[in-house]
Structure 1
Amino acid sequence: MKHIPLYCLAAASMALSFFFENTPTTSSSSASDLIVAEASLLPSFLDDEEDKKPGDAASDSAAYDYYGQALGVHLTHTENKDLLRTVLDWIGTPYRYGSNSKQGTDCSGFVTRVYKEVYGITLQRSSHSMFSSVKRVDKDAMETGDLVFFRRGPGQPIYHVGIYLKDGKFAHSACNGGVMVSSLEQQYYHRNFYAAGRVETN
């Protein structure tokens, strides 16, 4: 009889082990092959952020390290993790003019969806309209989450928008590749960069 508690514990342990080993994992069908491959190596705290304890420095550090590596930027661990995670989840989504879903999205559709998901803010649908509602910031004062706008020369309308990340890189939906991370130093974007703007999120 004295061994019954041990048997019960062993049975419970086996049941829990079976449950966790057979719990299906999810991955974003919209992510690129590289991101999907990296995501499969993520620890469980990235699969279920709600289970993490607030202030868990080790988990936070690991999360930032992963996001920084996956997005190709150097993070200071002060950036909005929800923003980084959401942007990463959209990477690889194909371009589709006039749409804003994981099946396809254009540049302004991507930005509006991310801002709604992360901040609960509904932005104007077009890049030109977005620009009229942001606070202008200098290019060298941009912060993670600011919007970057592009036009094809003086007097031309704004035609493209993206979300600034870090290190001169921004996330956007490009017509020749879908949602991706690009550098403002690339010749095309450097030439057509117009301005940066900040959305009041508080």
Structure 2
Amino acid sequence: MKNSLLYCLAASSLALSFFFEHTPASSLNSPVTAPVAAEASFLSAFSGDDDKPAASASSRDSLAYNYYAQTLGLKLAFNEDKNLLQTVTDWIGTPYSYGNNSKKGTDCSGFVTRVFKEVYGVTLQRSSRSMFQNVKHVAKTEMQSGDLVFFRRGPGQPIYHVGIYLQDGKFAHSACNGGVMVSSLHQAYYQRNFYAAGRVTTN
């Protein structure tokens, strides 16, 4: 019985190795290290080896961060807020729906309120304008992951859109022309309409 289990593990290991060796490099964020991490993570679940829990956790974290980096289009240092990255990733592709905040459809402020509730346990105001009035304003050059970014269509115009800053000039939001996605503040449209950034404080 023990030999049969070992044969099954060996076969599974070979299958995983074959899969990763034949996966196009462009589909993996780290084509050299990802297969090793994936195989180690897979085999550790069956090996019963409790001597290296830290290595196992590290392998799983590496795979997770690689997945978030690829899905969100970010360059990660693997020390970012994993809960925020995971939650945003789970919402990617949710269609836009004005006035709603579920994974069947959500608008921009609905998306932000749900993410903050799920990640930080914080209940935000429902509208982007109300959110702006209840955050600590920060300079664009001082933005951190988890800060809010606000947009308006010109001087004197009201705030009409809000998103969550991630890093490298990129933010997650629910756009009316594509639903939940990650966009860049350097895109002409968002660069032109960016108004301010704000930090949610719990004090």
TM-score between both structures, scaled by the size of structure 1: 0.73
2:154 corresponding residue in structure 1: 153
1:123 aligns with 2:124: yes
Letter in 2 for 1:72: G
Per-residue deviation, 1:61: 2.7
Q: Secondary structure at the match of 2:196?
A: strand
Q: Secondary structure at the match of 1:155?
A: coil
TM-score between both structures, scaled by the size of structure 2: 0.73
Letter in 1 for 2:65: Y
2:59 corresponding residue in structure 1: 58
Among the aligned pairs, what percent are the same residue?
67
Alignment RMSD (CA, Å):
2.7
Q: Secondary structure at the match of 2:167?
A: coil
Q: Secondary structure at the match of 1:85?
A: helix
Letter in 2 for 1:122: T
2:134 corresponding residue in structure 1: 133
- Structure 2 residues without counterparts, runs of 5 or longer: 10-26, 29-34, 42-52
Structure that is richer in helix per residue:
2
Q: Distance in 2 between matches of 1:82 and 1:182?
A: 20
Q: Distance in 2 between matches of 1:72 and 1:151?
A: 25
- Structure 1 residues without counterparts, runs of 5 or longer: 1-6, 18-36, 46-52
Change (3 A) 1:138 1:70: same
Letter in 1 for 2:169: G
1:71 corresponding residue in structure 2: 72
Q: Following superposition, which runs of at least 4 residues in structure 1 exceed 4 angstroms of deviation? A: 41-45
CA contact (8 A) 1:95 1:175 kept: yes
Letter in 2 for 1:91: I
